[in-house]
Structure 1
Amino acid sequence: MARMASGDENIAWNLESFLNSMIYELDRANQTLAIKQDNVKLTYTVQDLSVTLQVFPQYDGDRVRFLTAQPGQEGASTMTFQLGSIRDNQIREIARKPPSRDDVTIDDLEMPEEERKTLKRLGINTTEDLRRTVEEKRVDIEQATDKKVSYRKLAEVINRSRRQGIQAPRVREVSLSVPPNGAGEAMLSLHGENLQVEPKSGDAEEGVFPFALLDGAPLTVVAASAGAVHLAVPREKAAQLSGALTLALDPYAVLTMQLAEKPTDLEDNAEE
């Protein structure tokens, strides 16, 4: 009768980690050659590697893992694969570029795990992959996933993630200018980065944001750009300007800060 392996003798493994470990060992062998070339006239290296394993596949409905068959075990499947060498220029031609610092990976988004897995099965691993698939390739992502993924809902998650990460707004300086001779309103200016993102044509929020409140009272937004937001402040309030300022830049970025009597001395409690 076949001997069954205990848990201590045999541990399930996945193919990716197994191959990565083997390739790592082969890479180390090649690195050793760089040193040996100065010390020996003749040596040997592995050009191609063929591996045949007797394994028991395990599938949990999502991932496949393998148990290596022990001597005497019956019913194992045969798995054969070959490792061949590849040059750096070939890698550049076929491999996907790693995510840039300006991109957001699907793993970083707050979304149902089933949707994440569905996107990955389509080769979509970053928000740029998704944008390119939907906007450039004109793929109906809802139809392609049997309505498991809603692009509209996913776009909201992506926008929120960007505004909390690489496109997070930051206020660096606040200044107040008061017109001479008591003419007109004062101008409260906030300078920083990512204070405005370009709305897409047709966005429901276009024209609504930004808006500002000072102690709950609305302030007029005179002008807004990525680098600055200018707010009109009634002259009577500007004389002793203080209080809680709330600045909603878009649906995904709201800044709150406490103004002191001198606007340059502010306590920034930004909530993004």
Structure 2
Amino acid sequence: MATKGNKSWNLESFLDSLILELDKAQDTLSVKGLNRRLTYMVQDMNLELQLFPEFDGDNVRFTTAKPGEKGASKISFQLGSISDSQIREVTRPPIQHGETSIDEVDIPDHERKELKKLGIQSTEDLRRTVEDRNVDLGKVTKKKVSYSSLANLINQARRQEHPPSVAKASLSKAQGNTVLTLEGNNLASAQSLDQFPAAVINDQPVEILSANNKQLKIKVNQTHLTGHDNQLKVALDPYAVFTMNLES
């Protein structure tokens, strides 16, 4: 019979917690396999531990039983060997340079946990899962992950893959207006929202005349330019904002 100090838990949550810890170990192996061609050069070694497990609903922790303590659980391990080729076959590649870890993005903790349970460790993992493999994560997680959160993360990942760059800025006259033209790459994407791109000069809003992937045209009035040095801020979308100094 359970005592008052015992806490009830369900099997699904326990397995989710255990599998997540195993996934972390697998990710470690995937990186280690890049540097060591063979690991765990031990065969047929058995390890038996007497432990008291504790489960808080998310994590499983163990306390080693002291000599003479009763009621502990027995956990047995058998170590084998695994080669670098086997590691590559069964593990995902580690997070690459330029990718954003799920731990670094601003989403609710419960959504982050659900994504990790599915093996999604970065925004690029998420994009591949939803777009390339056409997986409906809303159904898979039983609506525990919102579509808007997924869309924001995917757009953020896409922006990181294709960051904006400005190669040239010039002023010209067109129909009595002064126009500032910015030329570069990845300036206005197809994913830009209705309120983007947006720009201010010296914190005063200015009108965007036209915008595409290669060029951005901004209408400038003399009232916007207050001196020799002026600051232009441009928000291309929620994930790409840059600042430039203009000399009048």
Name the TM-score class by shorter chain: 0.5 to 0.7
Do the aligned residues in 2 keep the contact of 1:220 with 1:233 (CA within 8 Å)?
no
Counterpart check, 1:105 vs 2:101: yes
Residue 224, structure 1, aligned to residue 220, structure 2:
no
Aligned AA (2:102): I
Code of the aligned partner of 2:246: L
For residues 105-124 of structure 1, what are the structure 2 equivalents within 5 Å?
105-124=101-120
Please state if 1:175 is matched with 2:167.
Answer: no
Alpha-carbon distance between aligned partners in 1 of 2:223 and 2:137, rounded to the nearest angstrom: 54
3-state SS in 1 of match to 2:128: helix
Structure 2 CA distance for aligned equivalents of residues 138 and 237 of structure 1: 47
Count of matched residue pairs: 216
Give the unaligned 5+ runs of structure 1.
Answer: 1-13, 32-44, 262-272
Alignment of 1:259 onto 2:239: no
| Residue 43 (structure 2) aligns with | 47
| Residue of structure 1 equivalent to 2:5 | none
C-alpha change, 1:50 and 1:193, in structure 2 (3 Å) is farther
Deviation at 1:113, TM superposition (A): 1.1
Secondary structure in 2 aligned to 1:81?
A: strand
Q: Deviations over 1:102-134 (max 9, x none)?
A: 322211111111111111112222222222332
1:197 lines up with 2:189 in the alignment: yes
User: SS of 2:82's equivalent?
Assistant: coil
Aligned-residue RMSD, C-alpha: 3.9
Tell me the equivalent position of 1:60: 56
Distance of 2:173 and 2:144 partners within structure 1: 55
Report the Cα distance in structure 1 between the residues aligned to 2:98 and 2:81, rounded to whole angstroms.
32
Separation (CA, whole Å) in 2 of partners of 1:111 and 1:119: 11
Aligned CA distance change for structure 1 residues 191 and 50 (closer, same or farther; 3 Å) = farther
Is the contact made by 1:212 and 1:245 (CA closer than 8 Å) also made in structure 2? Answer: yes
Amino acid at match of 2:152: E
Instruction: Give me the whole-angstrom Cα distance separating, in 1, the residues matched to 2:144 and 2:54.
Output: 26
CA distance in 1, matches of 2:211, 2:145: 37
| Aligned-partner Cα distance in 2 for 1:217–1:63 | 50
Q: Which amino acid aligns with 2:239?
A: Y
TM-score, with normalisation over the residues of structure 2?
0.68
State the 1:235 CA deviation. Answer: 9.1
For residues 162-188 of structure 1, what are the alpha-carbon distances to aligned partners after superposition, in whole Å with 9 as ceiling and x for unaligned?
65x665545465333468xxx765542
Measure how far apart 1:92 and its partner are.
0.9
Give the structure-1-normalised TM-score: 0.62
> Which secondary structure state, in structure 2, belongs to the residue aligned with residue 71 of structure 1?
coil
Q: Distance in 2 between matches of 1:152 and 1:223?
A: 25
> Where do residues 198-217 of structure 1 align in structure 2 (5 Å cutoff)?
198-199=190-191, 205=193, 209-214=196-201, 216=204
